[in-house]
Amino acid sequence: MQKRTKKKEKCDLTSSLSDIVPGRRIIECKALLDLENIKREERRGLAFNVSNEVSTDKQHVDPTTKRQPFDINSKFAIGALHSGIGATHVNKMLASVDMPSIDSKMFKKYENEIGTAVEEVAKESCRTLIEN
């Protein structure tokens, strides 16, 4: 067995503290996450990308726009739709657990994406019911 002798370097956060958004994160990791290596993070709704290329969530492809929205944002929009709440209520919930808010315009994009998918499923369900 080879022993790793990689020298640990401390991350200098003093120059990029303004890039760090305060609050908690929900992270799904399938790879080693070393918080000392994070120099900057980029917010996309409730998802975050960090500068050391450790993605904190999965993405999928929207077939209509070819963009790659993060699953966490889509799942949150589904939950909000199911609960009957909008962006304001979502942001109040996030604030109560010290998590960054989601921009209302971005939330609306995910709401529209989810709404379209829900309508498709409902139409297909109605067609199936009529045929049987």
Query: pLDDT, tens digit, for every residue of 39-73?
Result: 677 777 777 766 654 455 565 566 666 666 777 88
80 forms beta bridges with none
Q: How far is it, in rounded angstroms, from Cα 78 to Cα 112?
A: 10
Q: CA distances (Å), 117 to each of 5, 35, 114, in order?
A: 50, 36, 5
From the CB of residue 16, how many other CB atoms can be counted at a distance below 10 Å?
A: 14
Q: How far is it, in rounded angstroms, from Cα 24 to Cα 97?
A: 8
Q: How far is it, in rounded angstroms, from Cα 43 to Cα 49?
A: 7
Q: Judge if pTM exceeds 0.75.
A: no
Query: pLDDT, tens digit, for every residue of 1-36?
Result: 444 444 433 444 444 545 566 777 766 666 666 666
Q: How far is it, in rounded angstroms, from Cα 120 to Cα 32?
A: 39
Place of tokens 């067995």: 1
Helices (DSSP H) in 9-103: which residue ranges? 71-83, 87-96
At residue 33, the 3 state secondary structure works out as coil
Helices (DSSP H) in the chain: which residue ranges? 71-83, 87-96, 104-131
Q: Tokens representing 89? A: 């209520």
